[in-house]
Amino acid sequence: MSPQPVTSPRVALLGVCYDGSSSYLRGPAGAPPIIREALWSEAGNPWTELGLDLSAAALDDEGDLAPAPDEDPEQVRLFIEAAVKRIAESGRRPLLLGGDHSITYPILRGFRPFHPRLSILHFDAHGDLWDEFEGDRYSHACPFARIMEEGLTDQLVQVGIRTMNGHQREQARRFGVKVIEMKDWRDGTKLEFDTPLYVSFDLDVIEPGLAPGISHREAGGFSVRQALAIVQSLTAPVVGADFVEFNPAADRTGVTAAVSAKLVKELAARMLVENR
C-alpha cells in the first residue's frame, strides 16, 4: 500500500543553535537557519518524494533556540529538554535541527516520558558511546552513553558507523546496542522495529565528498540516496527526530546546506506518513 498522510499529530520543526559540547571544531550552532533557508529555497520545491507538499502539510516551524555562547551547559540541556517536552505535550512530533550531537540526550529526556515504548535509529560515522570525552561526560561524543544509562530507549540501532574503537565496542556490548558498521552494511537491509521510532541523523554518516560541510570528515560513508532509501523504507511510526552536525563554516559552496535540506525534507515526510 502507498503511504498516506497522517492527519494528527503534526510535526514541529525546532532549531537548536548550540555547539558548546563539540570537539575539534565549532560551527554547527549556525546550522538551523541555513538549513531552513535551503529547505524553503526557490531553487527547489516543497514536494517530497513520498508525495507530500510540505508547504501545505502539517509542519509547524517553532523557530530556533539560541543559547548565549557563555550559557552554562547544564542550563542549555534543561532548556532543550523543556522545549521538547512542550512540543510532546501538544501532541506533535518534534523534528530538531542541531547543533552538535550532544543535544540528542536532553531531547530524549524531554521526549521519553511520552513514549513508554521507544526505539532509536542512529545514523552516524561515530558511535557517540564514549563514557566521557576530553573530561566531558556530555560531549557530542557521549550522548548515547547517557541515553542508555538512563533507559531513555528500549533499543538503539546504529548504522553507518566506521570509527569504532575498543572502548566504544565495550560500551556497545555493555548497553546491548546493535551496531551495523559501514563495512557490514548491505543495500536492501530491512530495519524492523516493533515500537515507535526516534531517528537521530548525524550528517557525517554521509560520504564527506557529498557533504563536506561537517567538522569530522570520515571517508567511506553512505551516499545521500542510500540514506534516503533507509529512511523511506521504515515501517514503524517515526514519532521524533533530530538532524545534527552540519557545520556551515566548512560549507564553502553551499552544497552541504542543499544536502541537509533534502535529508530533512524527506525525514519530515517519513514522520508525516504511515504505511496502511
| DSSP letters for 221-254 | -B-HHHHHHHHHH--S-EEEEEEE-B-GGG-SSS
pLDDT band at 5 (very low <50, low <70, confident <90, very high): very low
On whether the CB atoms of residues 119 and 157 are closer than 8 A, the answer is yes
What's the confidence (pLDDT) of residue 3? 46
Whether 122 and 156 have beta carbons less than 8 Å apart is answered as yes
Band (pLDDT 50/70/90 cuts) for residue 2 is very low
pLDDT greater than 80 at residue 172: yes
Domains present along the chain, CATH in parentheses: 8-275 (3.40.800.10)
| β-strands 273-275, 3-5 pairing | antiparallel
Distance between first and last Cα of the chain: 6
pLDDT digits (tens, 9 = 90+) for 202-227: 999 999 999 999 988 999 999 999 99
**169 pLDDT higher than 50:** yes
Instruction: Sort 68 into a burial class: Cβ within 10 Å, 0-12 / 13-18 / 19+.
Output: exposed
pLDDT of residue 4: 47
**How high is the pLDDT of residue 9?**
57
Q: Is residue 134 scored above 90 in pLDDT?
A: no
pLDDT per residue over 23-60, tens digit each?
A: 788 889 999 999 999 999 999 899 999 999 998 777 89
Query: Predicted confidence band at 109 (pLDDT cuts at 50, 70, 90)?
Result: very high
Q: What is the mean pLDDT of residues 71-85?
A: 94
Q: What is the pLDDT of residues 136-162, one digit of tens each?
A: 888 888 999 999 999 999 999 999 999
Higher pLDDT, 5 or 113: 113
pTM of the predicted model over 0.85: yes
**How far are the Cα atoms of 39, 61, 155, 259 from residue 42, in angstroms, in the given order?**
9, 18, 39, 15
Contact 123, 227 (CB under 8 A): yes
Q: Which of 170, 70, 176 has the alpha carbon at shortest distance from 120? A: 176
- Other beta carbons within 10 angstroms of residue 210's beta carbon come to 15
